[in-house]
Structure 1
């Protein structure tokens, strides 16, 4: 059964680790043991999740050696218990029992006290049967003696609340020594690791190496590959955790030339996009808009390194159609006004000719009638041209306003049902509040 280990006992450690980001770096400064403890715990959690319980237990105990905490003891006990369930090795059974007891002594008010008691209730009878009943009456004493060659003692300081034993002082906690090794872990799940140019293997990777620098490559589908150098320390287990960066998704848009492409409200390019637009994996709102055209709004969900394409042929808006119609009517009115003005000028020229003829000679009655008709026609045509021109001008102004102000806004599409996340929930998380800081790990 998966359980959550709340490491409230490492608050001070994690606060100080986080404070390192605000502390100026010094040349050749030694590695802070608090940061090392956090690295060991993270590596142990990843190894535990991958089923490498013995390595996880060792990493938890090394974290405890650097920064004593009852929670590290509980994590190590859980790892030994699972390793015993996997291979039935008596040593892991004995180590689990010893660590559960040490956890109860270290923190009498531990939140996982009931879990530890239940585990002991199930494990102690197994230890008694394995030892031929020799431990049946041992009670809360030390477990059966086991081969301790190759074990490193990790004393528990008295200042962390551990209760003294009858023999004086808390019991030592030990971690098996395995030579010079690297414990390489990575996120996301499914990442692969290659060491010194060798073949890739699934993470986490525990490997014995020679002391000194080693080239490490980490890869996973949909993530950028990382390359780094890790310097192995003689006769030590060195953890290194790598978090890969996800590759961006790629979006190409085709359709109405000149349309603006906005992703989550930010304009990113115009149609057609000269190159695919890089976007973060996940859900996005894509809006394609062009003045005078109905905008397109679409929700898309893109995975890591996924390529997608949207074709958007935007239709004209009703306002733009009306604007073109009004502008055409205004243009026709201008043309009619021009014709009327031309006719008015023609009748005016006729009237001027007859007037000049009157000044130089005698006009016949029919000539006077023609003159009066030309003057009346000129005035009527001029008035009609003026009225038609004014109406045409107003029509053109209305059409122009409809044209210029035609910028429709895209209505967001209806919300989709939430989808199952592509990535599993993180197994390790930090929770910071004004009064506390907690590290939560799911096993």
Structure 2
């Protein structure tokens, strides 16, 4: 069972409170060892947990860690029945009571002593464990942890294994590779000292998701309110994994906005067909009608010139000789048709200017607008397989393994 929120908060304040005294770097390293020890504790590897907790205490002494070490020795005693572990558990509980005169975990420590001290009394008098407890011999170990989900570790070229890794190693150099799907692998060359524990907490950097947007040319592409560029883009867009708002706009087209969910380390494609706006359709119709009016005006102009030419021929004939009455009537009719064609041409050219001007205004001010997203869309992967590393979360020594008659465990 994990500690309740009050216990976690109190222990967090206690463990963070010594940062000025111990130094920020030492406290950070202590947190790494403490968290590694807590994971070893949860995995039932109590000797490794003891090494980690003791190293954390050396770097940043906290009374709460003394209690934690006592818990681990107590658990280890019930596994191997080694009297030395029993004596060391009692020693750490008593040290904790001496350093914490009130509050804290005094009640738990006292209850643990009430359970363990009768066991010491039943040990044979000649048993070496009745003497003051000595430190237990330490193995050379490597402990590797990572907050990255799905991370696996390879030690010295071995097969990747699940984390946490708690392994005895030979003294000397070792190669550790931590990897996880959708993250950049991390390689560390480390030096293991004889009898010492080397704890590493490795945070992997996320691989970016990439998004290829396929849309007609000259469309503005924005992601999360930031303009990326104008289509076609020269390369896919790199984005952190998660949900993003993609907006695409172009003059004369309905704005398109959609929420897309991207997976880390994968390439995705978004195909968008932009719909023509009603305003652009209207301007196109007006331009077409203006063109037709221009052609009509041209036809009327040609016809007017033809009638003028015919009337001129009749007048020339009248100047040269007498003409019949029918020629005079024809002359007047020709002038009437010429004037009618002229009026038609003027009206057509006027309509051309009006229609073209209106169409131009509609075309020029046809800016798209977004009226909300079309909903979450899981875009397809182009292939199944770097943003800047995020700020490292504050590591808190927020709790120690608990002990009580009815529960036990470890919590970070």
TM-score range (shorter-chain normalised) is: 0.7 to 0.9
Deviations 1:158-186 (A, max 9, x none): xxxxxxxxxxxxxxxxxx55243322222
C-alpha separation between the residues in 2 aligned to 1:120 and 1:366? 135
Matched, 1:119 2:108: yes
Larger relative contact order (Cα-Cα within 8 Å, sequence gap ≥ 6) = 2
In structure 2, the partner of 1:183 is 143
Quote the offset at 1:74 in angstroms.
Answer: 4.6
C-alpha separation between the residues in 1 aligned to 2:165 and 2:131? 28
Quote the offset at 1:346 in angstroms.
Answer: 1.9
Q: Residue 183 of structure 2 contacts residue 207 of structure 2 at CA under 8 Å; is this kept in 1?
A: yes
Quote the offset at 1:312 in angstroms.
Answer: 2.8
Matched, 1:13 2:6: no
- The answer for unaligned runs of 5 or more in structure 1 is 19-31, 135-143, 152-175, 417-427, 432-437
Matched, 1:430 2:394: yes
In structure 2, the partner of 1:384 is 344
Q: Which moved more, 1:246-255 or 1:76-85?
A: 76-85
- The answer for unaligned runs of 5 or more in structure 2 is 124-128, 377-391, 400-410
Quote the offset at 1:338 in angstroms.
Answer: 1.6
Q: Which moved more, 1:236-245 or 1:365-374?
A: 365-374
Deviations 1:173-208 (A, max 9, x none): xxx552433222223143221122122222222333
C-alpha separation between the residues in 2 aligned to 1:87 and 1:319? 84
In structure 2, the partner of 1:425 is none
C-alpha separation between the residues in 1 aligned to 2:102 and 2:360? 79
Q: Residue 140 of structure 2 contacts residue 195 of structure 2 at CA under 8 Å; is this kept in 1?
A: yes
Deviations 1:214-270 (A, max 9, x none): 221111222221112112234322222211112223434446566554332334466
Counterparts in 2 of 1:359 and 1:414: CA distance versus 1, 3 Å: closer
In structure 2, the partner of 1:302 is 262
Matched, 1:128 2:124: no
Counterparts in 2 of 1:145 and 1:246: CA distance versus 1, 3 Å: farther
Counterparts in 2 of 1:220 and 1:363: CA distance versus 1, 3 Å: same
Matched, 1:318 2:278: yes
Q: How does 1:248-267 map to 2 (within 5 A)?
A: 248-254=208-214, 256=216, 259-267=219-227
C-alpha separation between the residues in 2 aligned to 1:323 and 1:260? 22
Aligned residues: CA RMSD? 3.7
Q: Residue 91 of structure 1 contacts residue 146 of structure 1 at CA under 8 Å; is this kept in 2?
A: no
TM normalised by structure 1 equals 0.70
The equivalent position to 2:297 in structure 1, one of 332, 337, 360, is 337
Partner SS state of residue 243, structure 2: strand
TM normalised by structure 2 equals 0.75
Quote the offset at 1:117 in angstroms.
Answer: 3.0
Q: Which moved more, 1:100-109 or 1:297-306?
A: 100-109
Q: Residue 254 of structure 1 contacts residue 312 of structure 1 at CA under 8 Å; is this kept in 2?
A: yes
Matched, 1:36 2:29: yes
In structure 2, the partner of 1:68 is 61
Q: Residue 143 of structure 2 contacts residue 199 of structure 2 at CA under 8 Å; is this kept in 1?
A: yes
Q: How does 1:357-368 map to 2 (within 5 A)?
A: 357=317, 365-368=325-328
Counterparts in 2 of 1:414 and 1:361: CA distance versus 1, 3 Å: closer
Q: Which moved more, 1:185-194 or 1:41-50?
A: 41-50
In structure 1, the partner of 2:168 is 208
Matched, 1:280 2:248: no
Q: How does 1:49-88 map to 2 (within 5 A)?
A: 50-77=43-70, 79-80=72-73
